[in-house]
A and B are shown apart, each in its own frame.
Chain A
């Protein structure tokens, strides 16, 4: 892992807490005081088991959810005060892809280009279609696509507006190795063009391959932040799985 030289904090997260009201259990804190920074030209991974609060944290950053307390600044905009501007600065993608099955890739891209008020929307859509290799199926309805084709469209959509920040929620979950690799390549390419990438995952191998820095998160709290080497040194373990379990505090007290 080669830590890249940070180009300035694109994301500053300050003590984000998110509590959900729960009828059965009173209330549930999904994210409990997260604080971290992510720089331009950096890939930052949120690593944690299911239910650790990764999705909630990313949804708060993408302004889909309002934080109960704390805030974050993305590309200079406050998620609480300027949510619309924040959304204009990010590309968001989740493992579910979220594509309109009855529309064609060209229509989906045009829709999101117009929502982002791109000045040269038509031209940008065409460039994106060529760049992401969608030309041969740009006119077909997405419902009929294979998972791999859908994934291409989903990435194209997230990167369409060339946002400075990419927020990706388990973008490779449910994909086979070649499709996952296509996503990983796009993430690396975006980083090399100076983008700030935050993404969540629950597989250590992926973190090692992609991330410049990793935040290990469990029960809504950050257990440790650092490069892969720093995580290794801190735990004194070599195998990825052991490092992960150790950081989660699960290595000793497994039942």
Chain B
């Protein structure tokens, strides 16, 4: 291994990639522009839908067939409009009403009040929630009135009070959610970000007939493959860092939360400090080498850029699964799991944001990924020694 040759190869590959629009798109534009846009857009759409539903629930109107004037008053007090329709159920179905309340005769039993909601419509759901609150308030006040009439103290209804306390601090809930999402997006973009450079440097060179000249130069094949893998790794690592930066920015500025105050508050509790980011960056390094080696090793088998895409696209899809499974609630990150490549990285990211990453899990993950990267590197080097791979026709 001669370092001046390696440096020459690395510089040429980087220069070539930085002038490739496709590589720049997946490496820089998508993480820096598409991800924050997606985050902010999602937050915007969610809060917009919510706001619309609230407005519409009030303007569309509530159908009412009920004897109690108190319920009518309570509904009007909540700012809901009352609209008359002959068939309430049908009107809700046809979205002519946001929701409806109907008193049904129940001879011999207690009176029954039914409210109709269309669960597939956010507007109707919102109106239904309001109605439910109004009706149960009415039920409670009826009970209290009856007790008063019978001279029974109200306290008889409450032998004890019940309170649910969620011991998971806000930061933990936010951490679980964001840790899964961050791991998922980071891993996915690392593989898509590395795909174009990896194919371009291998199958692309075959297609443009430049590989032959490369191989006829005094550079050793091991130097060529290492230079290419390091360049692909750089591209992947740049993608990962830019994705991380724009995700952190989105979280910090509550992109996904939109105007939802609770969500914004929750997001601010995530401890994305230098320490956490440092751990994530350290986890990404061997993973970038692993991804680069695998992709170069596979892409060199292809004869053309298109064929390379056919081989590597499924890889990006395969990567999604460990990242998705890693987000399952109740999953405990054990040292044995830290041996599973890619999955372990998504778990380290999640644990980091949850704040429960152990040193053992982190070290096993990093060490395991270095070993896998070395194996993939060896595999890729062997492909470059194989003339049936290099000169496939």
Q: B131 to chain A: closest CB distance in Å? A: 65
The distance from the CB of A215 to the nearest CB of chain B, in whole angstroms, is: 21
B387 within 8 A of A: yes
Are A115 and B216 closer than 8 Å at their CB atoms? Answer: no
* Chain B residues bordering chain A, tally (CB within 8 A): 25
**A134 vs B44: C-alpha distance when bound (angstroms):** 56
Number of interface residues of A (CB under 8 A): 34
Partner of B216, one of A62, A97, A114, A117: A62
**A111's contact among B8, B20, B216, by CB below 8 Å, is which?**
B8
> B210: which of A59, A98, A115 is its contact (CB, 8 Å)?
A98
Residue B208 interfacial (CB < 8 Å): yes
Say yes or no: B209 contacts A97, CB within 8 Å.
Answer: yes
Q: How far is the CA of A116 from the CA of B391 in the complex (A)?
A: 23
> SS class of chain B's interface: helix, strand, loop or mixed?
helix
- Is A102 on the interface with B (CB-CB < 8 A)? yes
Which A residues lie within 8 Å of B208 (CB)?
98, 100-101
| Complex contacts, B213 vs chain A, CB 8 Å | 92-94, 98, 112, 157
* Shortest Cβ gap from B93 to chain A (Å): 61
**Distance A141 CA – B21 CA, assembled complex (angstroms):** 14
Binds A, one of B53-61, B217-225, B256-264, B272-280: B217-225
Q: Nearest chain A CB to B113's CB is how many angstroms away?
A: 73
A102-120 contacts to B (CB < 8 Å): 102-103, 107, 111-112, 114-117
Contact A64 B391 (CB under 8 A): yes
A106–chain B nearest beta-carbon distance, Å = 12
In Å, the complex CA distance between A47 and B318 comes to 50
A243 at interface by CB-CB < 8 Å = no
A63 B8 Cβ-Cβ under 8 A? no
A117–B4 touching, CB < 8 Å:
yes
Tell me if A66 is interfacial: C-beta within 8 Å of chain B.
Answer: yes
B336, chain A: closest CB distance, angstroms: 41
B112 at the interface (CB under 8 A from A): no
Residues of B within 8 Å of A59, CB to CB, are 212, 391
A-B contact count (CB 8 A): 76
Our pick among A66, A93, A103, A115 for the contact of B8 (Cβ within 8 Å) is A115
Identity of the chain B residue whose Cβ is nearest the Cβ of A21 in the assembled complex: B388
Q: Which parts of B7-50 form the interface with A (CB within 8 Å)?
A: 8-9, 12, 15-16, 19-20
Whether, in the assembled complex, A73 has its beta carbon less than 8 Å from a beta carbon of chain B, the answer is no
Nearest-Cβ distance from residue A97 to partner chain B, whole angstroms: 7
Q: Given the complex, which residues of A lie within 8 Å of B220, measured CB to CB? A: 84
Given A84-B218, A112-B217, do A117 and B391 touch, yes or no (CB 8 Å)? no
In B311-345, the 8 Å CB interface with A consists of none
Distance of A249 Cα from B19 Cα, bound (Å):
51
In the complex, the answer to whether B209 meets A116 with C-beta atoms within 8 Å is no
Q: Which of B189-233 contact A (CB under 8 A)?
A: 208-213, 215-220
In the docked arrangement, what's the CA distance between A157 and B391, Å?
A: 22
Inter-chain contacts of A99 with B (CB < 8 A): 210
Q: How far is the CA of A63 from the CA of B391 in the complex (A)?
A: 13
CB distance from A244 to the nearest CB of B (A): 26
* Residue numbers in B under 8 Å from A213 (CB-CB): none
Given contacts A100-B16, A103-B16, A107-B15, 14 further A-B contacts (CB under 8 A): A64-B212, A64-B215, A64-B387, A84-B218, A98-B209, A98-B212, A98-B213, A100-B12, A101-B208, A102-B15, A103-B12, A103-B15, A115-B5, A115-B217
Residue numbers of A with Cβ under 8 A of B are: 20-21, 59, 62-66, 84-85, 87-88, 90, 92-94, 96-103, 107, 111-112, 114-117, 141, 157, 167
Residue contacts A-B, CB under 8 angstroms, 18 given: A21-B388, A59-B391, A62-B216, A64-B212, A84-B218, A87-B217, A98-B210, A100-B12, A100-B210, A103-B15, A112-B213, A115-B5, A115-B9, A116-B217, A116-B218, A117-B4, A117-B5, A141-B19
Closest 8 CB pairs of A and B: A96-B209, A92-B216, A114-B8, A102-B19, A88-B218, A115-B217, A98-B213, A98-B210
- Give residues in B with beta carbon < 8 Å to A: 4-5, 8-9, 12, 15-16, 19-20, 208-213, 215-220, 387-388, 390-391
